[in-house]
Amino acid sequence: MSEYKYITFIELEPKLKTKLFEVRSKFSNDFLGYVKWFAHWRKYCFWIDGFGLIFDAGCLADIRDFINKLMLERRKK
């Protein structure tokens, strides 16, 4: 199990080639989604269960960058 400041990754069902992780809020233990292998892109991605949304590390980096720029803009005001 890997823990970060706000989220926890819990490994589920170990497989031979790929891994599956449940992603939960560290504070409320709410289920957020999964990190699992996406064969079409040949990489691990973040899946939001029930919505059919998939994010890879590049997508999440873009979202993080956008939010950081918004926060810098807000601090300047």
Residue 27 main-chain phi, psi, to 5 deg: -90, -40
* 77 pLDDT more than 80: no
**Tokens describing residue 30:** 């709410």
Q: Which of 69, 39, 13, 61 is nearest to 22 (CA)?
A: 13
Residue 49 main-chain phi, psi, to 5 deg: -60, 135
pLDDT in tens, 10-69: 999 877 788 999 998 888 999 999 999 999 998 999 999 778 888 899 989 998 998 888
Domain of 51, in residue numbers: 2-76
* 1 pLDDT more than 60: no
pTM: 0.76
DSSP calls for 42-54: TEEEEEETTTTEE
**Cβ–Cβ < 8 Å for 10, 4:** no
Q: What is the pLDDT of residue 2?
A: 56
Query: For the chain, what is the domain count?
Result: 1
